[in-house]
Amino acid sequence: MIEATWIYDSRDGKKNGETVNARRARTYLKLLRWSGLRAGDAACLSRDKLRNDDSIFLYQKKVKCKASSAVYGLLPHDVAEDLRNVPANAYTSELFVLEWSQ
C-alpha cells in the first residue's frame, strides 16, 4: 500500500508521489505500520503527541493501587521526520494526517 502512494493522486501523468495527498497518505500508512495505533487513533493524533526523541505519547496507564504512568511508542527516525514534515491543510493544523484535502 505504501508503494501505491507513489502513483496516488497523479496530475498530468507525472506520478512522482510528491503531491500533498500522496505524501499525507504515505505518512499515514507508515504511522499505522510502525505505531500499532488503530486507524481512527492515528488519524486523530495531534502534533503535540510526537516528542523530540521520535516517540509518541499514546495514553496514560492506570495501575491499581499505584501511580499512573505515561505510555510511549518509539517510531523509526524517518517515520517521525515524515510526521514532522507532513503538509497540513486548513482543516488539519493540529492533526497529522486525517481530513485529506479535497
Q: What is the model's pLDDT at position 91?
A: 52
Give dist(CA 71, CA 60) in Å, integer: 6
**What is the predicted pLDDT for the residue at 11?**
60
Angstrom distance (rounded) from CA 102 to CA 43: 16
Predicted local distance difference test score (pLDDT) of residue 77: 93
What does each of the 102 residues of the chain score in pLDDT, given as a tens digit?
A: 777 777 766 666 666 677 777 888 888 899 988 888 888 888 888 878 888 898 888 776 776 777 677 778 888 999 899 888 887 664 554 555 544 333
Q: How far, rounded to the nearest angstrom, does the alpha carbon of residue 77 sit from its chain's CA centroid?
A: 13
Cα 102 to the chain's mean position, in Å? 19
What's the pLDDT at 101? Answer: 37
Task: Check residue 94 and give its pLDDT.
Answer: 53
The torsion angle over the Cα atoms of residues 26, 27, 28 and 29, rounded to 10 degrees, is 50
Contact between residue 18 and residue 31 where contact means Cβ atoms under 8 Å apart:
no
